[in-house]
Amino acid sequence: MSRPGLTFAHFGMFVTDIARMERFYTEVLEFTVTDRGQLAGPNGPFDLVFLSRDPDEHHQLVLATGRPADSGFNPINQISFRCDSLATLKAAYQRMTAAGARELTPVTHGNAVSLYGRDPEGNRIEVYFNLPWYVTQPMREQVDLTQGDETLMRTLEGHARSLPGFEPHERWRARMAERMGVAS
């Protein structure tokens, strides 16, 4: 159950090379193009590519032309994608490595194991798998995703148990649901 009324649905970003960005998100992160087209804007026409990984969502990500190549600052802190399994996270790591993604850094946050990297235009992306426990945030330590699954999970849990606030995720979730007024 989540808080009623609003649900986060999708993210759109301006890009400089829409074809290159489309290739990255379709080939490396396995999104599907659901639509594309052009709209008139205040500075002239701009192209749009709609992408999704969920057939119930027309788009989860929108790429739009118009980002200046020399803007000097990228206001996107990160774009995060949740994996359904550790195997999915490791497969994303292999695809991102093969695609030459920059600044690949696998880390644990105690409550998740994450892979950070950059898309072709330098936007930081995070691909992560939630772990079945919680620890006080922020927390970040590098991990080796090439370990076998059982070894990696033992390492992650042992590390998490040594951190402040360690508890099962369900206990943390129950407290948050109560704070949000959606306890069931």
Residue 2 pLDDT more than 70?
no
Go through the domains of the chain in sequence order and give each one's CATH number: 1-68 (3.10.180.10), 76-184 (3.30.720.110)
Residue 7 pLDDT more than 80?
no
Residue 117 pLDDT more than 80?
yes
Residue 135 pLDDT more than 90?
yes
Q: Tokens representing 131?
A: 């772990």
Q: Is residue 25 within 8 Å of residue 51, measured between CB atoms?
A: yes
Residue 63 CA to residue 20 CA, distance in Å, equals: 11
